[in-house]
Every structure is written in structure tokens, then in C-alpha cells.
Structure 1
Amino acid sequence: MFQRDRAVLRPWTVACGLMLTMGAVAGAQDTRQVVEPKIPSACVKLEPHLKGALREQDEEKLDTERIQKAIDGCKPGMAVELLRGTAASGYFLTGPLEMREGVTLLIDKDVTLYGSRDPKVYETPNPDAKPGDPIKCGTSMPRPAAFPVQLAATAAARRGGCRPLITINDAKNVGIMGDGTIDGRGYAKILGKDYSWWQMARKAQPTDDLYFNPRLIQANHADGLVLYRVHLNNSPNFHVGVNNTNGFTAWGVHLQTPTDKSLDARNTDGIDPGTSQNITVAYSWIDNGDDNIAIKQGVSHMSVIHDHFYSGHGMSIGSETVLGQSYLVVHDLVEDHTSSGIRIKSNVKRGGPAHDLIYKGVCMKDVPIPIAISPYYTNQTVEPFEDPKYTGDKIPDYKGITLQDIYSETPGDVLIAGLNDEHRTQVMLQNVTIKGIKPSQVHLFYDDLTVRSPGTNIPLRESANPTVKLVGDGEKAVEQVDPCAGKFVPMQ
């Protein structure tokens, strides 16, 4: 039976008071009053048919129909609960599931819901397909010349590809909750192939081929969506994508990919909202193979509060910014060996406005590029430190960025750049410390920088060139006891 009241969660409830008063502390953010979610009562409880170790023959015993029938028949406001049952080790194995309005999928502790590795069950219906045509899911293809990166997912849906493991489409107030695990098995060989989902993705990278992998959770028009306490592991592609949604909360989510650190998991973003507003990601733990969070275009009023990031590419905006991003607050974030820390990335092929962005109370350790505010994105893990001279008319334009109480325990590069004199990047720095940073590690172009007391230890004046305007005393940040002491803890 699922435990609905655990002592370990009580501090979260108390800490929620910080969330409700963040507007006074850190500026614009999610406009809702967000509180810790509650787990609903179960309309039906399912026990696993599969027990012991996951086996090859289990692909013929999928739980898809049984779980989907329970979701379809559940009343709004209630949950379909997946139980461990009497087995010492029980699990569920499923193909794609579709959530219904107001229904929660509740996964008990010690229960795992695995995704099938059969590409046929994920294949997106293609109205133009002929009998005998090969399926696209689980395959790759050269990218057509007139095929922008940002349209890949849409085109895949039109022309065949992979459905997500869990879809929320035109359904409000859906929940995915519990202390159990959803495992996408990106490490497993695709049925009928000699490669895994991740191996296919990595092989496609050098030539920028299209490849078709399922996402773990994809939501569209899903107002009121809640992810709570659930563990999301080993997605073949992005873990959580949310589009066209007003009101999305991820609270206490534990996201880890790959769980086996000897493996390589390309393009496995953690949480990616796009064309949405009023979003909160709180008290969550993200350790993955790409951006920990990537805020896509058209997102406004988002709060990222009291989170821990591990392997990944950091707290990112972009690379698509055509429709803009605005009114973001990142507060009390710990980043431990991410490749970048605070990252805003775009270029003239996919850029647009990003403004009113507040980063406050960010702790970093072993982050090679603690700050990267860049119009130079080249589809790589990190941005280059100079303009790649792309041509395009979709201009990145960054304004109203606040960096306050930022601390990196280890040295790293800082890139703050505008595209040109007509599109200058505007940043305010206050109490920003990158320990051990050298002038050669600071890269500034077309910036309007304001430094407020107690300043920053970043050698801005030594590194500034004629395209940079610097206002403020520029004094070094006040030497202080490490404000991040005790915050770097193991992934949970």
C-alpha cells in the first residue's frame, strides 16, 4: 500500500512558505500559489503479472491494455495505483499509455513501470504509409536539407516516428506520482536491431541525422499537470516535454539517466517546457545526459526552486528562442559537475528575445563554464567563445538578466555575449564569485554590464573590450565563508 504521509516530506511543506513569498524576494515567476501536491485515493489497484528479473519473453506479455483500461475507467480526481503486491520483485512492462483528464498514475515504492523495447508498439500512425512500408521508430535517416532542427519532432509526428511512453494530450489536472520508477530502457537493444536507443542517437550525431526514439513523458494542452516524487530513469530521448500548457508542477522528482554511469545517453534532456506559462520545478534531483532543464521558446513565468543538478548541461534556456522566454526565477540551485551552470544558448537561425531572468543563490562545483550567455550556439555540448558567423534573421536578444549570490567553488570560463551593437546583452551582477578565475577565462562581447556592491571577483575590467560597457565599482566580491558549504550532497 502506498504511504501517503511520510515524515521526510514534512520539511518540504514548511519550506513551501519560501515558495509563496518568492515574488517579494526574487521578482517575477510562476504566478500561481504552488503548494506541495497531495496524492489522491485510488480508483483501482493493479498488481504486477511479471515477477523476478526482466526477461526476453516478457515483451509478449505487455501490461499496456490492462493499465490503459484502468486509466480510461478511472474517475477524475482519483488514481490508478500500481502495487508491488506480494512479490519480492514485481514490475510492469508497457507500451505507450495515454492519460485522461483528472486521472493520476500512482506508482508505489519498489515498483517499476518499464517501457517496451519493441519499436512497433511506439510507431506513430502515418496516413501515407502503404502496407509493408518499414516503420520509422527505432531507425535513423539523413536530415533533409530544408529541415530545421526545431521542426524535427513535429515532422516526425506527421511522417511517422515514435509515440512517447506516456502521453498527456488535451487533458487537464493529470498527475504522475509515487515513490516508484518509470524506466524507459534507453540502454536496451531495440527489438529486431543490434543497437540500443542511445547507441542509435549517438551514431546519428556526427552527420546530424534524424533518428526516432520515444520520449518518456510528453504533454500538450495539459493545464494543471503534476509530477510528484516519482523516479524517471533511462529515457530513450527527452524525459519530460510540456507544451501549450498553463500550470505545470514538478515537485520532488528524481530523474536519473543513465543509471549505469558506464553508458552514454545522448539527448536525454530532463525537463523541457515550451510555449507554456506558470511552471514550477521544485525540490527535484536531475542527473542526466543532456540539459538538466531546457526552457524552450514561448515560456513565461517559471520558477526553478530548491533543486539539485548533477551530470548534464546545466540550467539552460534555448536553443530555440524565437517566441521568447521571460519572467524566470532560478533560486537555491545546486549544480555539481554539470558541463555548464547558467546557460542561455541560441543563434541567428533560431533566436529571439529573452528577458527578465533572475538567477539567485546558485552554488556550483566542478562546472567548466559556470556562466554562458551566448548567441553563438553551434549544436554542441558547450558554446564556442567567438561568433561562428552564421547567417539568419532570427536574432537572439538578451535583456534584464540578474545574477545575484552566485558562487562557484571551482574556476571555470565565463561567456557573456551580445550578437552586435544593435543587440547588446544586458546583465546585472551582484555578489558573484568564481573562485580562481583568470582574465583569460572571461569572454565578453557587446555587453552592458552593471556591477552592484558587493560586486564580483570576475575580472571584468581586465577582460573587457571596446564593445563592452561596464557600470559600477567592479570591486571584488566580499571574501566570505563558503556560502555553499554542506550543499553538495549525493544524488537522491
Structure 2
Amino acid sequence: MNITSITLSAAPGRARLLLPLTAIALVLAGCGGSGSGSPQSNVTYSNGSVFQVGTSAFDPDLPPEPTLPSDSQVCSTLEATNNLVRRPDGSLPPEADPSKAGVGVAVTTATANPDQARIQAALDACGAAVDAEVGAKIAAADASATAAQVAAAAANINIAGVSGEELAKPAYKASKFAVRLVVNSSGPGNGFISGPLSLPSGVTLWIDKGVTLYASRDVMAYSPNPAGSYCGNTAVSATKAGSSSNCLPLIGGSNLVNSAVMGDGSIDSRGYAEIVTTNKLYPLMKVDMTCSNTYALYATGKQAADGVACDNGGTVVDSKSAARNMTWWDLAYLANMVQNGTTGVGSQSNFRMMVFNYAKNLTLYRVSLNNSTNFHVVPSGIDGLTVWGVKVQTPSLAAFANPAGNGNPLYTGATFNEDNVKNTDAFDPGSAAKAISDNLAIGSTGKSAAKMSFDGYLKNFVFVYNYVSTGDDDMAFKGNANPSPAGSGLFAIDGKRDVRADRKYGMVVAHNHIYWGHGISVGSETNGGVTNVEVYDNTFLHSEEGLRIKSDYARGGEVSNIHYKNICIKDAQNALLFTPYYSTKALPAAGPLFPNFHDITVENVRIMGKSAVKLQGFQANTGGFNNPQYPLKMSLTNVVADSPDAITVTSSDANLTIQGVNLPLMATADNRNVLTGVPTQAVDGSRVLDCSRAFVDFPAIGSSNLFGSTWAAQN
């Protein structure tokens, strides 16, 4: 059978498209005389019942669900004061920690940061007690792992020290290990305001039901060093951008074993709130783009004169400005959407909600996270990271409780939405930069007597039963560092590395509900490599992206064996987005890092509503470099749209194997696409996947449900 062109039918009223197939590798499965290449034969339905997405309550392939501590396991209990009472929308009333307008005006620590000292003191005391009880056992276990290390290294597994699986046993956990934040026992108090907290090894921060831990708005809490680095800006000089690394995180921890943040309460970083300072000389930016001082003068304890150029991203010092201080999200929008677009160096110095580096067994469970000023949770180099039953909603209703009551909180006059709450990634798990041997952290200043080994890999990661809505990535694997020796062939993130006996997969993302945001992503940092990831039984409702792999040749690398299955996507802007052209960042000095996405499988995915699909590999000789083609190698099985005419496909340098797919995919010589299989509209999405109960209302956090109530949760 000689084929020179193929005609694809279009919707009524649209022209049919005649596609030349000269000089192209097009494989049409079953085009022989048997007739097996008919559209109907390309559809294979399940012989049993159709999988119902979003309803699983138990998964035998997962480890046991975490549990809250018992009362007997609590080191100390702290009550909220009656000065802090959350409003029904989740915000604090302005009188709880008032702002004071004007240049050279400071607030008091008593209102801006009343609880940091007592919470940290409780954590430190608990950490010391945990170390006294089990620290020696942990150190002995790590020391005795030397022989196992050698054997593992020989097997190219690269375990450093005792495994997290061993340390998860009861023998390495203290009898008391939790610090519990509770509502006031005799009054309405249910809020805490705190600056940065250091989580000790072996300690659980338990935020009880009804409690909200609010981040202090005092920039001094996150930027305590008069010599810098400086927090709360979009630049630190005329040519250097700001950075979140200039700020301490709200909750941080490094070198941890068996630590956790959990409970049925909330953490609100208040990215929407006006920044204040307890030091009147600290430079703050105003919404009129003036600043209150310069870092150069602040470092010497002096006040700059009016008209002096700002060095924090603003224009000039203006002591007469009556404009309010910028909020954290004002800085983020200004840096990312305005300054970065014109200078290429804009970035906000905003604090992150949680940052953890090097841990064995770190758990986030049931807690609600809101309104981070930057990324919510950044865990790097964790063996045994569990995120289970967590709710992230950013922005929440609290973000709209602005004092003017006009519904336009952003400095531009815009209302907060998914497009202007910038860089608020929910979860960015990744590898750390290298293997280390260091002392466990037993408090904000104390360390254990013996050192602990960490190999820097992300291993045994479980991300399940979460609800996520945010202004950036909902969950993104960051393969941005490779602690392996050069040439070892090991990936920064590998779901088959050191998989524990209590689970089937070492890297799993399952049973989650995703709303606003950029979906479940790999990248953009993939230079260390990401492989063997299982993503199944997830739903996407009104998200910007659904399933995404993103990189570019400034930070590209190999991404392989990523498996997606049983996914419902409704009204997403981009249901599937796989691109090696994520940005035009400057190349590293050593030269380009070419993205290479292959062995990607997508099975049983149902797309509802209007959406776009982008499937791109990396073109040969790109950007003036003599690089080979790295085609996107992907198989799509039963990937269907309820309205295929409402799907727009962009594809290039892609080798796609398809069956039961009704997306308008095509082989083209110009775009270097290769198809194995035939797209067909003769497929019934309801027989591929049951999405009837997949889409539910976001669970209310107190009364703070930004999405309101619909019939979806009633059915």
C-alpha cells in the first residue's frame, strides 16, 4: 500500500487538511491487508470495570499513612494568646499587628513577632531531650553502616550511612518528640505570629485543629545581619537581582532524622500583607517605587537623603512619600513581570515557607499551607519524604481582606489570581548538591555529638491525597544537582534507588486533587536527571497545566521512565505540556545542557473541555550548537478528549507511539514528527476512564474556601 498523503477530517465548517508524507518516517500500525488498521481497532477498552478517578481511600502500593502524635508523646504545649483571633476569612484583623506608615517608622516586636522566641525555645528543649534519648543510637547505627556503604557503592546504589528505612523503626524515635500549638483554653485566641523557626532533628511541630501560625511581617526577622544578605527587595545592587536565599525561611531545618510538621491547623505566610520593620533604618520599597533608605547607609546606621538612588529595586529615597509599603507579592510581581522583563535580572528576595536540606524521614501531614511569599516547601536531599493529606491554597480568601476593601490588593490595582501571585510553587522536592557528613541539628543553635551521613539524593518520596491550588507549580521534581560521581550514570532523582520494603515505588505522586497552578511537573532543572517516577490517579480542575515536563539548554538533562496513568483533566489551559524550550536563560559557562525526554508513557488520560497539548523534543543543531536531535519519545495509550475539536496540538521533534488516541496528532516532515499508530475519533472517553467523581470542591480551611461551594462535592 503506497501512501503519499493523509486527509484528516475536521469539524463542520472547517477545511480538511491534506498532509504530505514525503521524506518522513510515518508508521501506520496495521496498514496491511488484514484491515487491522481501522480506527476502531486502535481502541482497546478494559475488560473489567472502568477505573474511577479520585475516589481511592486505600492504596496497597503505598506505605502506611502517617499518624498524629498521642498526648503522651508531646514535649510541650503552647497556647495561643487571646490577642490573636483569626477572622472567618482566615486573616488577622489589622489591629492584631498594625502597620505604621511613613519612612523611618518602626513597629514593635511585641506586635510584629510575639511568638517566635517561645516556640523556638520549646522546639530547642524538645530537640535536646530527643537527642539525649536516641541520639547515641542513631549515631551508632550510622557508624555501623560502613560495610553496607561499601557494598552499596559497589552496586552503584550509593547509600550514605544508615538508611532512612532503618531509622524509621521505633528504636530511633524518642518517647516524647512533639511541640503542640493549641487554641487558648479559656478564650478565643487561635493565632500565633512568628518569625523564622528552626526544626530540630526528631521533633514534630504539631499545629492543632483551629490554630493558624502566621508569619511575621517584620522584614528584620528574615534578614537579621546588618551587613547582608538583605531580604525584602527586587535587587541588591544596580546589576544584581534579589534572591530568596537572602531570607531565612519561616520553618527551616538541615541534618534531620524523623522530623515532621503536621496537624489539622494552618500556616499562613501572608504574602499579601504589607511588609513592616522593627528597625526604622531598614530599606523598604513603597508602591510608588520609592524607597525608605539605601542598604549602603543602613549598614552604617545612617539615613540616606531624599533623592539618593535606591539599591533595592526602587527609584529614589523619598521621606515624604505617603504610599504604603510593598507587600511580598508586590515585590514578586514587580521583579518577575516588570523588572525581569526589561533588564533580565529582576528577582524577588522573599522568604520561603519551608526549606529542608538533608534528612532521613521527613513528614508533612494534614496541615494546611497558605499564601507563601515565595515557594511553599523546598525539600532537598531527603531519604523518606512523605507529603500526605496536605492542603495548599494560595491565594486564600485571607489574601483579599485588604484594609481598603476594594478587592484590588496588588500594587498595580489588579486582583490576585493564578497569573500574578508569582513564584509560589507548592512543593519543589529535589536532590541536594552533594553527599555530606555533618552533625544532626538538635535546636536553633545546638548540634549532636556525632556526625551523620547523607548522600544528597531524593529517595522514597510519597506525595499522596493532597489538595493543591497555587500561583505556580503545584508539584515539581527538581533534578537540579547530582551528588553522584561524574560518569557514574546515576540520576539525581531515581524512583528505583533504595526502594523500601513497605512500598512498591520509590517515587510516587498519586490520589491528588490539583486546582490553580502549573500542575505536576518535572523541571525546569533536569541537569542531574530524573527517572522512574509513577504518577497516577490525579485530577486537574481549572489548572494552567496538567502534566508537564519542562527544561531548556541552560539546565537540561535526561528525563526518562516517567509513567502517567488514570488522570482526569478538566478545563486546563494546557492538559499536556512537554517542552525543552522552557526559557531563554543564559547558558552555563561550560556550555549548553541539552534536554532529553524519552520513555515517557501516558495511559488512560481523559481531557474535558477546551485545552492545548504541546509535545516537543529538542531539535538538532539548536541555537548554533552542533547537537544531535533529542526527540521526545513517548507512548500514549487511551489518551482521549471528550471534545477533540476543542484541543489544539503543537508538536515537533516527537516520536510518538499511539493507540486509542483522538487528539489531532499528525506526522509532518517540517516539524520532524514520527507517529506509530493512527489517531482516531472512534473512541469513547467514558469507557476509558470514569471521571464522574474526580472533581470536588477544595476542602474548606476553616471558612476559607476561595472556590466557594458547588454541586460537585454533593454528588
After TM superposition, is the score higher than 0.5?
Answer: yes
Question: Is the contact made by 1:327 and 1:356 (CA closer than 8 Å) also made in structure 2?
Answer: yes
Q: For residues 291-336 of structure 1, what are the alpha-carbon distances to aligned partners after superposition, in whole Å with 9 as ceiling and x for unaligned?
A: 1111111323221110001111111111111111111111111111
Match in the other structure for 2:392? 255
**Residue type matched to 1:305 in 2?**
A
Residue number among 242, 255, 258 corresponding to 1:173 in the alignment: 258
Q: Does 1:200 align with 2:331?
A: yes
Match in the other structure for 2:617? 418
In structure 1, distance between residues paired with 2:229 and 2:652: 47
Q: For residues 316-368 of structure 1, what are the alpha-carbon distances to aligned partners after superposition, in whole Å with 9 as ceiling and x for unaligned?
A: 11111111111111111111111111111111111111001011111111101
**Residue type matched to 2:370 in 1?**
N
Residue number among 247, 252, 275 corresponding to 1:190 in the alignment: 275
Question: Is the contact made by 1:444 and 1:463 (CA closer than 8 Å) also made in structure 2?
Answer: no
Match in the other structure for 1:468? 673
Match in the other structure for 1:432? 639
Residue number among 186, 191, 207 corresponding to 1:107 in the alignment: 207
Residue number among 85, 103, 122 corresponding to 2:184 in the alignment: 85
Q: For residues 104-150 of structure 1, what are the alpha-carbon distances to aligned partners after superposition, in whole Å with 9 as ceiling and x for unaligned?
A: 00011110111101111111648xx2xxxx76111121788798xxx
Deviation at 1:464, TM superposition (A): 7.4
Q: Does 1:321 align with 2:415?
A: no
In structure 2, distance between residues paired with 1:14 and 1:343: 23
- Unmatched runs of 5 consecutive residues or more in structure 2: 1-53, 86-92, 99-107, 131-173, 278-283, 285-324, 341-345, 401-414, 432-457, 480-491, 496-506, 621-628, 700-715
> Measured at CA, do residues 398 and 61 of structure 1 come closer, stay the same or move farther in structure 2, by a change above 3 Å?
closer
Q: Please show how residues 117-196 of structure 1 align to structure 2 within 5 Å.
A: 117-123=217-223, 125=225, 129=227, 136-141=230-235, 157=245, 161-192=246-277, 193=284, 194-196=325-327
> Measured at CA, do residues 424 and 480 of structure 1 come closer, stay the same or move farther in structure 2, by a change above 3 Å?
closer
Question: Is the contact made by 1:444 and 1:465 (CA closer than 8 Å) also made in structure 2?
Answer: no
Q: Please show how residues 17-416 of structure 1 align to structure 2 within 5 Å.
A: 17-20=59-62, 34-40=63-69, 41-49=73-81, 50-52=83-85, 53=93, 54-56=96-98, 58-74=110-126, 75-76=129-130, 77=174, 78-86=177-185, 87-123=187-223, 125=225, 129=227, 136-141=230-235, 157=245, 161-192=246-277, 193=284, 194-205=325-336, 206-208=338-340, 209-260=346-397, 262-263=415-416, 264-275=420-431, 276-297=458-479, 298-301=492-495, 302-378=507-583, 393-416=592-615
In structure 1, distance between residues paired with 2:238 and 2:430: 24
Question: Is the contact made by 2:229 and 2:247 (CA closer than 8 Å) also made in structure 1?
Answer: no
> Measured at CA, do residues 439 and 38 of structure 1 come closer, stay the same or move farther in structure 2, by a change above 3 Å?
closer
**Residue type matched to 1:299 in 2?**
I
- Give the secondary-structure state (helix, strand or coil) at the position aligned to 2:221: helix
- Give the secondary-structure state (helix, strand or coil) at the position aligned to 2:512: strand
Match in the other structure for 2:295? none
In structure 1, distance between residues paired with 2:591 and 2:648: 29
Q: Which moved more, 1:102-111 or 1:79-88?
A: 79-88
In structure 2, distance between residues paired with 1:427 and 1:166: 39
> Measured at CA, do residues 366 and 13 of structure 1 come closer, stay the same or move farther in structure 2, by a change above 3 Å?
closer
Question: Is the contact made by 2:97 and 2:112 (CA closer than 8 Å) also made in structure 1?
Answer: no
Count of paired positions:
441
Question: Is the contact made by 1:239 and 1:271 (CA closer than 8 Å) also made in structure 2?
Answer: yes
In structure 2, distance between residues paired with 1:219 and 1:64: 19
- Give the secondary-structure state (helix, strand or coil) at the position aligned to 2:339: coil
- Give the secondary-structure state (helix, strand or coil) at the position aligned to 2:630: coil
> Measured at CA, do residues 81 and 347 of structure 1 come closer, stay the same or move farther in structure 2, by a change above 3 Å?
same
Deviation at 1:42, TM superposition (A): 1.1
**Residue type matched to 1:407 in 2?**
R
Question: Is the contact made by 1:412 and 1:437 (CA closer than 8 Å) also made in structure 2?
Answer: no
Deviation at 1:378, TM superposition (A): 2.3
- Give the secondary-structure state (helix, strand or coil) at the position aligned to 1:416: strand
Deviation at 1:90, TM superposition (A): 2.1
Deviation at 1:411, TM superposition (A): 2.5
TM-score by length of 2: 0.59
In structure 2, distance between residues paired with 1:69 and 1:477: 65
- Unmatched runs of 5 consecutive residues or more in structure 1: 1-11, 21-33, 381-390
**Residue type matched to 2:330 in 1?**
Q
Q: For residues 407-449 of structure 1, what are the alpha-carbon distances to aligned partners after superposition, in whole Å with 9 as ceiling and x for unaligned?
A: 1111311111111252111001000012323498211111111
Q: CA RMSD in A?
A: 2.5
Question: Is the contact made by 1:413 and 1:437 (CA closer than 8 Å) also made in structure 2?
Answer: no
- Give the secondary-structure state (helix, strand or coil) at the position aligned to 2:256: coil
In structure 2, distance between residues paired with 1:235 and 1:164: 10
% identical aligned pairs: 35
Question: Is the contact made by 2:113 and 2:195 (CA closer than 8 Å) also made in structure 1?
Answer: no
Question: Is the contact made by 1:439 and 1:459 (CA closer than 8 Å) also made in structure 2?
Answer: no
In structure 2, distance between residues paired with 1:464 and 1:334: 35
Q: Does 1:449 align with 2:656?
A: yes
In structure 2, distance between residues paired with 1:480 and 1:330: 20
More strand by share: 1
> Measured at CA, do residues 169 and 314 of structure 1 come closer, stay the same or move farther in structure 2, by a change above 3 Å?
same
- Give the secondary-structure state (helix, strand or coil) at the position aligned to 1:224: strand
Question: Is the contact made by 1:278 and 1:300 (CA closer than 8 Å) also made in structure 2?
Answer: no
Deviation at 1:222, TM superposition (A): 1.7
Question: Is the contact made by 1:329 and 1:359 (CA closer than 8 Å) also made in structure 2?
Answer: yes
**Residue type matched to 2:661 in 1?**
T
TM-score by length of 1: 0.84
Question: Is the contact made by 2:263 and 2:365 (CA closer than 8 Å) also made in structure 1?
Answer: yes
> Measured at CA, do residues 197 and 318 of structure 1 come closer, stay the same or move farther in structure 2, by a change above 3 Å?
same
In structure 2, distance between residues paired with 1:43 and 1:142: 42
Deviation at 1:461, TM superposition (A): 2.8
> 1 or 2 for the larger relative contact order (CA 8 Å, sep ≥6)?
2
In structure 2, distance between residues paired with 1:225 and 1:89: 30
Match in the other structure for 1:489? 696
